[in-house]
Amino acid sequence: MASKESLRVDRYWATVRQSAMNPQPDDLVTNTQWDLLTGEPRGVDYLEVDANGVPALWAVPHGTAEDGPVLLCFHGGGYVGGSMFTHRKMFAHLAKAIGARALVIDYTLVFQGGVFPQPVIEGLTAYRWLLDQGIPAGRIMFAGDSAGGQLSVTVQLRARNEALPLPAAAMLISPWTDLEVIGESMDYNEGNDALFSKQWIKDMAAAFLNGCDPRDPDASPLHADLTGPMHIQVGDQELLLDDSRMLAKHAEQAGIDVQLHEFPGQQHSFQMAAGLAPEADDAINRLAAWARPKLGLGAGE
């Protein structure tokens, strides 16, 4: 059974859904305040930077070295919402658990002209910026939730196409991978998912693709020639549950090192409740335990 603390995610996503579908001018909680879900991690400093034209935010846990590993983080929001500010605390919890710095970027959203492939290009720009800072690719790991999980894969593909060295691995939280919206969980989890409707997901996919083929391997991880290890986490109440299952199966068939963890009773991106809900903290710690050896960090570092 889900903890009472994690049920905050259910309640908040229901509020977001109402706000997005029928916004009111006097709404006190809106679709831009997802950070309310997350506990403030202690001992983390934040610094806004320009990553070669891409707005970004460093989350730097106290005690991390400037020559240590880095997480390149992509926020979720279906390409229509979210920001480096809504997700800074969740990624800071993850960075702190690993012992790394995190760079969270603000890519252009659909309503600002950020249709495919613009966010992918901006993600690659930020990655190239990190490499230009002298950070080895093997000391960089991608992380993202929802649409940011999709970017964590597609930015790697674009990096490979441009002959850049690839990051150590990717951590994917409830990744959005099925742009055709054909997963069976779109139907059998209807009524369980507190945030999404199938039509809403279809509309977001159409807006992001802007006429491009949903099977385009540069946009859709399910049809891509995948590269690099990945750790996938997903809640079993999500419409996007099969997005994770299908990606894991696709990766396994390609011989990719992949782990898939499904969390019972949990909603989309429930890790946003890090610092407040035990399920979120457990998920963050599992990601960290998987990531540390891949970034060259020992258990006690």
What are the strands of the beta sheet with 258-263, ordered from one edge? 44-51, 54-61, 101-105, 70-74, 140-145, 169-173, 230-235, 258-263
Torsion sign (Cα): 222, 227, 228, 229: positive
Active site residue 19: no
- Active site (annotated) includes residue 66: no
Catalytic member of 146, 152, 244, 269 = 146
Catalytic residue of the set 83, 268, 269, 279: 268
Is residue 88 within 8 Å of residue 57, measured between CB atoms? yes
Give catalytic status of residue 48 as yes or no.
no
Candidate list 75, 174, 185, 238, residue with the active-site label: 238
Active site residues: 146, 238, 268
